[in-house]
Amino acid sequence: LTHTLNKYDNSEPGFNFLGFNIRQYRVGKYHSLQGFKTLITPSPEKQRIHYKRIASIIDDHKQAPQQALISRLNPVIRGWSNYYSTVASSETYKYIDSLMYPKLKSWAQRRHPNKSGRWVTNKYWQTIGGDNWVFATPNEGKNPMRLIKHAETPIVRHVKVKGDASPYDGNLVYWSTRMGAHPEMPKRMTILLKQQKGKCAHCGLYFRSEDVLEIDHKIPLSVGGRDEYKNLQLLHRHCHDTKTADDGSVGGMHLGKHQITEEPDDAKVSRPVLETSRSGDRAV
């Protein structure tokens, strides 16, 4: 870390760092040998900024259909929730979800001023998977568009590096497997990484943590290839360049859903950066 990111502070009253609030609480000796417990949560400031952004999006979509509002909110909710999924965020997730309900209810009621609250609720909130309060389009089809909730994001506890393992110890299988468990790794990359057992489909070498990874279509979209898993493979960036040159496909000409990455919003990221490559997802 640079000197501008270093900070010495008293951990008992707590302090904020990179969007997290770090605080120590005194506990009995039977709970901890050190006499305190460390709790890391999303900082109050970042919670306010995040909710303010959500409220702004809802206000900006007063005249937009429900589908448009949901499609705009979901990436913001998912990105922010994923960023804080490795700390004690469960209560924070529930709290922000509770703030969103009256805001969404106001949005829906404004569209139908002459309808009762019950009518509005039945129109915009559906029962899905046992949850009676899912903001979603009417269940006219098999897959209604639904607004994800912060609380749906599972908390993933950090897995300590085993023993004296090091990225430079030559155990490439172990380290490539850990990459797939990173909370900010796009879902497609995680699945392909597991399918390929941590190896590049082009050169056959294991991926390292410092490698740039890109998703490639085995049969390019430009010649009729489909955007589905059986036509996808995970490659090193330089291998992707080689393969693209050989098959004659032109990157960036055919944009698909796979190019939409899930980026943490509001918070500065100190973990591997996920970007959109010229023709697919990319992790740096």
Q: Is 2 or 281 the better-scoring residue by pLDDT? A: 2
Supply the mean pLDDT for the chain.
80
Confidence tier at 197 by pLDDT (50, 70, 90) = confident
Q: What is the pLDDT of residues 246-264, one digit of tens each?
A: 876 654 333 333 332 333 4
End-to-end CA gap in the chain: 18
Question: How far apart are alpha carbons 22 and 120 in whole angstroms?
Answer: 41
Q: Is the pLDDT of residue 189 over 80?
A: yes
Radius of gyration of the chain (CA): 22
pLDDT at 255: 32
pLDDT at 111: 95
Q: At what angle do helices 90-111 and 117-124 cross, to 10 degrees?
A: 120
Q: What is the pLDDT of residues 108-152, one digit of tens each?
A: 999 999 999 999 999 999 998 889 999 999 866 567 899 999 999
Q: Do residues 182 and 272 make contact, with C-beta atoms less than 8 angstroms apart? A: yes
Confidence tier at 280 by pLDDT (50, 70, 90) = very low
Q: Is 188 or 46 the better-scoring residue by pLDDT? A: 46
Domain ranges of the chain: 1-42, 45-152, 172-247
Confidence tier at 194 by pLDDT (50, 70, 90) = confident
Is domain 172-247 classified as CATH 3.30.160? no
Q: What is the pLDDT of residues 206-230, one digit of tens each?
A: 888 788 889 999 998 888 889 999 9
Query: In 84-209, which residue ranges form alpha helices assigned H by DSSP?
Result: 90-111, 117-124, 172-180, 187-195
Q: What is the pLDDT of residues 4-52, one digit of tens each?
A: 666 555 556 678 888 999 988 877 666 666 667 888 999 999 999 999 9
pLDDT at 168: 64
